[in-house]
Structure 1
């Protein structure tokens, strides 16, 4: 028997359902309260449930899968194409119901441990952004009083004590004290970032998959832990190329009348992981003593950024191969197509 397809539009308090009753053929599109959402699926035969990949979707997906249902999480951009007429909860649920029946790569449903690792990454990323914002704010405020400093944290730490000493007689004490507090507060942010990195390091030591892909040149602590947590089950991807395409490390295409034009990278998938891979590829290109003949030839033939993205694509395909086939990294491995 084919699975009953259900479209679910998630919200904070009210969740909209859209499906066709298998016995009566009636189209059901109704809102239900969050507290009784799981009760709707408790005693039902296995269903194919489609949801947008948004806040809370991972939690509901795990709960529904534990009840025996099949869940497909889809990017909001994919669902948007099926919204017809005015946008409301009922129209969104109908669009999700239509979209889940179309072929397309779904977002991986992550375990609670994998999602916890990604939460650490997000908090670290937020702290790094706030630290950068704080540094730029201090440099901008001091520029208003004629004190121009070089870029970077090291230049700021070196210049601030002398700058504040010169300004102490010109500016009110309330401003000088506040500037000093903002500067010393950067050290507290540094400590928080270090603590998060230590926790990621501890998880990496316990996880065999993270240790395996960390042997790839350009893949460090952040990339290894983020890749394993973001990918979910590596075997959900048919090949390394599909994984690289899912990350947006392939050219976007446009064309008409049989004429196809390749553009820059498509920028699909997870922005954070793609950024880490590109930074790692850049380190391989500039810091590795022996990057390999393929990368050297690519660097001679193609522009710098194209070479970096090509190396990031190769790293993504290597990560998939190691995780999908459960093998160790071998620099001399040669991929051979099956006969």
Structure 2
């Protein structure tokens, strides 16, 4: 059964469709509030979208309505844009890309995969925040003649004794600020540990993640899983 292919350019508020019917190009613009109802009354089709923000949500919704869904690599689609970039031309490029035999599709993520990706993203953000905090404090310490190795562990280990040393060049104010930042560091440490526990729990309850965890050298914090 040959299904009609629909190229859909998704956005926050307005969506643009492109398809061919009886050899003629058909275009449709829909508001976000109209999209699902319109797709529900369409004959079963192959709906193609770029694998961008929000695409996995819509893919699951369209699949629930009985449609086939193809998510395409954004760079692959870009090669098929004709003319000036606009929403309808983007939708046509998606349509054209979806019709290629060598199309580069992206797997549709489930809610659990997106949850795991979010956990990993938040964890990366916390780690980056911790690194930035330590680097900033190392710089301020260096200005006062106190040089520490470029290591979060060493900073965490040595700062308490530096704060207790009354012979160094720390003023009362700077000592107070360093102490406050040390507490902020400990809070970030705990936040990262909590996220580690969440990620481990999700991995243990996810069949794909469990299979990955069985591979030597693979763990919940150092493998690629569900990114994007």
The runs of 5 or more residues in structure 2 that have no matched partner are none
Quick one: which of 65, 76, 79 aligns to 2:77?
79
Q: 1:30, 1:144 → 2: CA distance?
A: 62
- Counterpart of 1:20 in structure 2 is 20
After the TM superposition, which residues 212-251 of structure 1 pair with which residues of structure 2 at under 5 Å, given as runs? 212-223=211-222, 227=225, 230=226
CA–CA distance in structure 1, aligned partners of residues 69 and 128 of structure 2: 34
- RMSD over aligned CA atoms reads 2.1
1:254 corresponds to which residue? none
In the TM superposition, residue 207 of structure 1 has moved relative to its aligned partner by 3.5
* Secondary structure class of the residue paired with 2:106: coil
Report how many residues are paired: 224
In structure 2, the partner of 1:193 is 192
Structure with the bigger RCO (C-alpha within 8 Å, sep 6+) is 2
d(CA) in 2 for partners of 1:126, 1:215: 27
Residue 117 of structure 2 corresponds to residue 91 of structure 1: no
Q: Which runs of 5+ in 1 are unaligned?
A: 231-269, 273-339
Contact 2:76/2:104 (CA < 8 Å) preserved in 1? no
Equivalent residue number for residue 327 of structure 1: none
The answer to whether structure 1 residue 168 and structure 2 residue 170 are counterparts is: yes
C-alpha separation in 1, matches of 2:119 and 2:130: 16
3-state SS of paired residue (1:221): coil
Instruction: Give the Cα–Cα distance (whole angstroms) in 2 for the partners of residues 216 and 28 of structure 1.
Output: 49
TM-score, normalisation: structure 2: 0.88
User: Which stretch shows the higher mean deviation, 73-82 or 146-155?
Assistant: 146-155
Greater Cα shift, 108-117 or 196-205: 196-205
CA gap of 1:93–1:139, structure 2 versus 1, over 3 A, is same
Local SS of the residue matching 2:46: strand
Instruction: Say which is worse superposed, 49-58 or 214-223, in terms of deviation.
Output: 214-223
| TM-score when normalising by structure 1 | 0.61
Tell me the secondary structure at the aligned position of residue 63 of structure 1. helix
Report the CA distance shift for 1:92/1:110 in structure 2 as closer, same or farther (over 3 A). Answer: same
- Ranges of 4+ aligned residues in structure 1 off by more than 6 Å: none
